[in-house]
Amino acid sequence: MSRVIKSCIQKGETFACQRKGPMEGAQSLIAKNITKKFHQGSKDFEVLRGITQEFKQGHSYAIVGVSGSGKSTFMHIIGGLDKPSSGDVALFGHSLYKNPQRSDVLNRYIGFVFQFHYLVKELSILENVILPGLIAGMPRHEAVSRAMELLDFLGMIAKAPSYPTELSGGEQQRVSIVRAMFNKPAFLIADEPTGNLDEGNAGQAVNLLLEGCRAWNMALIVCSHDRYVYEQMETVLRMQQGVLAQEK
């Protein structure tokens, strides 16, 4: 096992959310009055203006809007990657940003797919895929077994010992999606997941995201400029002037 993975296991801790009994948003991720301001010189720029939105497990959502409208900023906030200026995000009825174990919660319950695959080039494809499971404390043999099943589903089981630089762009992005889904997160957030892919690879990536959503009752939240992508989602939300409104 590589030193990178050993280090991740030593730092990682398992975590289980307490979801006993009925509570607000028991199967939801809820953005509550989210604002985000950026400072530039002596001026403040308000990118998000009091957004409240609920995302439920088992449903698919698209967030659309012109470039610079705040889509990615909002995705990063609900995905736990960037703090809001005010407001909060509730996961299963509990504050995400006030949770001292936020990194463990994110690894277990929220998967994130970026426009670029961000695979670890020093690790094999198999090692990249199992990394979230090892961080969560999964025994290595179980992680390897699950990873091989997922790679077999992709038709990429022969690529398991390969390294990211030996794969095509489409293959690398599909591996990154499998890695994001490895822990079967309740919420899968994808920020322009097909932005660097051709039409054929984009279609495969979207199908993979939707199949994971259906198979494990995930909420799929996709930010995309691609009409084909967002038309596959059940609900379309438009970001305009820092406000999010339902379009479909």
| pLDDT at residue 235 is higher than 80 | yes
Per-residue pLDDT averaged across 172-188, rounded? 88
Window from 37-46, 66-75, 158-167, 236-245 with minimum mean pLDDT: 37-46
Provide the pLDDT for residue 25: 52
Q: Is the pLDDT of residue 117 over 90?
A: no
* Distance (Å, whole) CA 187 – CA 6: 27
Choice between 79 and 193, residue whose per-residue pLDDT is larger: 79
Question: Confidence band (pLDDT; 50, 70, 90) for 38?
Answer: confident
**What gap in Å lies between CA 225 and CA 220, rounded to an integer?**
16
**Separation CA 147–CA 34 (nearest Å):** 36
Number of neighbouring beta carbons within 10 Å of residue 199: 10
**How large is the average pLDDT for residues 8-12?**
39
User: Average pLDDT for residues 41-48, to the nearest whole number?
Assistant: 83
Q: Flag whether pLDDT at 14 surpasses 70.
A: no
Q: List the one residue out of 218, 248, 216 whose CA is nearest residue 232.
A: 248
pLDDT at 29 over 90: yes
- Is a pLDDT exceeding 60 seen at residue 230? yes
Q: Domain 26-246 belongs to what architecture?
A: 3-Layer(aba) Sandwich (3.40)
For residue 75, pLDDT beyond 50: yes
For Cα atoms 142, 134, 73, give the angle at the middle one, nearest 5 degrees: 125
Domain boundaries, the chain: 26-246
